């Protein structure tokens, strides 16, 4: 039996992460493992600590307690304790972040091509023609008209801006992508297109993803596993279809039974 799976060690090992803002709890005692090619959804209502957890894992926020082990190309490192330059390098070359608000993830007054090329150049690619070719290629992959390469993102629609953020992140071939409500500001039809695009890219590139969302339908389509958060704690976790079809915790049952079915 052929094993395509990179099965030996998890890409990310999160060990009882807590983040306190003074006496207030951001998130508390959360742990999980993420394997190559896996998508993890973090769900829960606003204020439940989803984004705090995501920011702790993605190296953007220092957790108060716990550890984040990341199996980088150069070996396993503790993202919380690694020297700053090493952490930065890993974040720039192996990780990507797609923000809820495209303005946080894009340079709005730099051309689409420039937005995509920026990370390439930061990672040492200097040949202008190559940068531009890669940018064109990625515009096509995320279904943006290549003629828009010299336009700035502030002339793009919301859905296009989100796709441009994805291209900007994926161009350097990261192994893991962090997403904070990537579809929440979009129309349903545009949402479906983005989800479909993400599904394809995850399979094609064997990408891992951690995605925060309050939309359970989105997790059903994209995530292999779920963590359900409430008041900073993980009240339930497991396979996505198991958590949604046979929820155990009262709060998860409430969430699932509150979904409107069109």
- The overall longest dimension of the chain from CA atoms, in Å, is 57
CB 93 → another protein: shortest distance, Å? 25
Nearest to 48 by CA among 214, 260, 209, 243: 214
Nearest to another protein of 105, 182 (CB atom): 182
Asked if 245 is part of the footprint of another protein (rule: CB under 8 A), the reply reads yes
**Beta-strand relationship, 65-72 and 75-78:** antiparallel
From CA 197, how far away is CA 191, in angstroms rounded? 10
State the Cα–Cα distance between residues 259 and 262, nearest whole angstrom.
9
Tell me which stretch binds another protein (CB under 8 A): 49-57, 130-138, 171-179, 236-244: 236-244
Interface residue with another protein, options 20, 33, 110, 152 (CB under 8 A): 33
Q: Confirm or reject binding of residue 133 to another protein (CB under 8 A).
A: no
Residue closer to another protein, measured from CB, 45 or 104: 45
Considering the rule CB under 8 A, would residue 82 count as an interface residue with another protein? Answer: no
Stated as kind and residue range, the H or E segment containing 77 is: strand 75-78
Given 181, 225, 232, 234, the residue binding another protein (CB under 8 A): 225
CB 152 within 8 A of CB 112: yes
Q: Looking at 35, 70, 138, 178, which residue binds another protein (CB under 8 A)?
A: 35
Other CB atoms within a 10 A radius of the CB of residue 222 amount to: 22
Q: E strands within the chain?
A: 12-21, 24-34, 39-43, 65-72, 75-78, 95-98, 176-180, 208-212, 225-230, 233-239
Of 9, 121, 122, 239, the residue at the interface with another protein (CB under 8 A) is 239
Residue 225 near residue 37 (C-beta atoms within 8 A): no
When asked if residue 92 is in the footprint of another protein (CB under 8 A), the reply is no
Kindly identify the residues of this chain, within the stretch 139-198, that bind another protein according to CB under 8 A: 192-193, 195-196
203 lies in the site for another protein, by CB under 8 A? yes
User: Considering only CA atoms, which of 188, 196, 223 is closest in space to residue 37?
Assistant: 223
Q: Among the candidate windows 2-10, 21-29, 85-93, 160-168, which touches another protein by CB under 8 A?
A: 2-10
The conformation of residue 35, written as its DSSP 8-state character, comes to: -
Q: Does 259 bind another protein (CB under 8 A)?
A: no
**d(C-alpha 11, C-alpha 40), whole Å:** 12
Residue 2 sits in the site that holds another protein (CB under 8 A): yes
CB of 44 to another protein, least distance (A): 17
Distance, CA of 126 to chain centre? 28
Q: Does 69 bind another protein (CB under 8 A)?
A: no
Give the C-alpha separation, 229 to 52, whole Å: 11
Among 152, 184, 220, 231, binds another protein (CB under 8 A): 220
For another protein, the binding residues (CB under 8 A) are 1-2, 4-5, 7, 10, 33, 35, 38, 192-193, 195-196, 199, 203, 220-221, 224-225, 238-239, 241-242, 245-246, 248-250, 253-254, 257
């Amino acid at each position: 039996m052929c094993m395509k799976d990179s099965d030996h060690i998890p890409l990310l090992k999160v060990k009882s992460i807590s983040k306190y803002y003074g006496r207030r709890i951001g998130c508390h005692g959360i742990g999980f493992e993420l394997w190559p090619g896996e998508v993890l959804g973090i769900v829960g209502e606003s204020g439940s600590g989803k984004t705090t957890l995501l920011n702790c894992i993605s190296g953007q926020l220092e957790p108060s307690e716990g550890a984040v082990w990341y199996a980088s190309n150069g070996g396993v490192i503790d993202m919380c304790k690694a020297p700053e330059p090493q952490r930065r390098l890993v974040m720039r070359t192996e990780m990507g972040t797609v923000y809820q608000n495209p303005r946080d993830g894009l340079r709005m007054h730099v051309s689409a091509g420039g937005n995509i090329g920026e990370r390439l150049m930061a990672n040492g690619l200097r040949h202008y023609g190559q940068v531009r070719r890669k940018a064109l290629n990625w515009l096509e992959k995320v279904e943006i008209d290549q003629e828009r390469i010299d336009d700035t993102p502030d002339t793009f629609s919301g859905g296009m801006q989100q796709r441009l953020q994805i291209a900007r992140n994926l161009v350097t071939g990261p192994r893991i992508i962090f997403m904070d409500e990537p579809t929440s500001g979009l129309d349903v039809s545009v949402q479906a297109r983005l989800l479909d695009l993400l599904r394809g890219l995850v399979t094609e590139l064997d990408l891992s993803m951690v995605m925060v969302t309050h939309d359970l339908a989105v997790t059903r389509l994209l995530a292999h596993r779920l963590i359900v958060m409430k008041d900073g704690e993980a009240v339930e976790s497991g396979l996505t279809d198991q958590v949604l079809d046979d929820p155990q915790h009262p709060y998860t049952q409430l969430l699932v039974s509150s979904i409107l079915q069109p």
